[in-house]
Structure 1
């Protein structure tokens, strides 16, 4: 839960730049939230704050009942690694590691069974995204859609409670993008995770049950996405 969260950055020879100006957002288990907004509106900044990558300049940030603002760096990192999964538009795969090694990377920070059986768990997740036979391939030998599926497997391998997807279909064609979103949704549904997606695609935004727009540093209800979603529901009912 974010309450009155702000994020400002210093500007040389100028006033501080306000990116987030009092964000209030509550995310519960199983929620499906989409956030749209113009380029440069601060969507990725908001995602980084919610995912505990960046600290807000002020406000309160609670995660699974813990006040994240009071956690020391190492404790915050452990919480993020255990409970948050990031899906990025640019994949961010490690070029010198195979698909299997990329997916297993988060499990090196796990403990117990997850650590000692990391290769088997990673392989199972690769098979879940349809890439079991590509496990030994380097990212350079994979298509864009395959790389994105590896990135998704890596984000979900620890079964996070919160999935943050930043333009997850932006670098993909329409058909592959739809497949990717179905995959993210399926895995999120299996684990009961909350899914928060940032997107420029109205069709992707309409898949969520809560539609928000980031404008002037604040979150507003996005009526256009809600109307699109209602329209799709009516078409399905009529069919």
Structure 2
């Protein structure tokens, strides 16, 4: 899979030149890379927010390289959970309302049981007693736990975590990563963590470094 963009002067910028990655449910993949190596581009491709300009992208055995934006949005809403560095919680909404938000686009039982499902997910991340709390009055670690609950509430196949500890102190970040890893493992989802921090990537069961447009496998010794 490759991604090239055309610069204003007509030159081609080759961001990803040959990414080869196969992820199964229950897997945890850590991808580390310096700023400017294409981590965000890779995340956008994996989350069906963008399309590769070379190679193929498959989802559950289906080639989704050239699907429509509507089809991509349907898969993304149903099967992809996102956890961001800055939490991206809805202002003026309680913890429960934030976690319920993805279920507003669901149908059938999933829609009608949205309040119960959101409350159960918040309880799983240790915030069952903070359903009515406004995020701005919670700590960074608590806000990230709300974001994790929101990402998992629709039981996605894949969770994409973009610098999930970047706004947290070291101790809180380690706690959040352990929670995220365990929660996704328990739900059977694959977790792909994209970070600049080798310590965060080292928590994954498979680790790669993104450099020169490609993924390079990393051993535990190389992460040290």
- Asked if these proteins are the same fold (TM beyond 0.5), I'd say yes
Q: Does 1:139 align with 2:135?
A: yes
- Displacement of 1:72 after TM fit? 2.0
Contact 2:81 2:158 in 1 (8 A): yes
1:133-187 deviations in Å (ceiling 9; x for gaps): 2221222222111111111110111111111111111111122111111111111
Contact 2:51 2:66 in 1 (8 A): no
- Displacement of 1:36 after TM fit? 0.7
- Displacement of 1:43 after TM fit? 0.6
Structure showing greater relative contact order (alpha-carbon pairs closer than 8 Å, 6 or more residues apart): 2
Contact 2:141 2:172 in 1 (8 A): yes
In 1, Cα distance between equivalents of 2:53 and 2:10: 18
1:103 to 89, 96, 99: 99
List aligned pairs for 1:182-201, cutoff 5 A. 182-201=178-197
3-state DSSP of counterpart to 2:209: strand
Q: Counterpart in 1 of 2:24? A: 28
Q: Counterpart in 1 of 2:110? A: 114
Contact 1:100 1:136 in 2 (8 A): yes
- Displacement of 1:95 after TM fit? 0.8
3-state DSSP of counterpart to 2:55: strand
RMSD: 1.5
Q: Does 1:157 align with 2:153?
A: yes
Distance 1:228 1:128, change over 3 A: farther
- How high is the TM-score relative to the length of structure 2? 0.94
Q: Counterpart in 2 of 1:178? A: 174
In 2, Cα distance between equivalents of 1:70 and 1:14: 24
1:9 to 2, 5, 11: 5
3-state DSSP of counterpart to 1:22: coil
Q: Counterpart in 2 of 1:227? A: 221
Q: Counterpart in 2 of 1:237? A: none
3-state DSSP of counterpart to 2:18: strand
In 2, Cα distance between equivalents of 1:169 and 1:141: 19
In 2, Cα distance between equivalents of 1:53 and 1:17: 19
Structure 1: runs of 5+ lacking an equivalent: 232-239
Q: Considering fraction of residues, name the structure with more helix.
A: 1
In 2, Cα distance between equivalents of 1:20 and 1:96: 38
* Runs of 4+ residues deviating >6 angstroms: none
- Displacement of 1:70 after TM fit? 3.9
In 2, Cα distance between equivalents of 1:220 and 1:165: 19
Q: Count matched residues.
A: 224
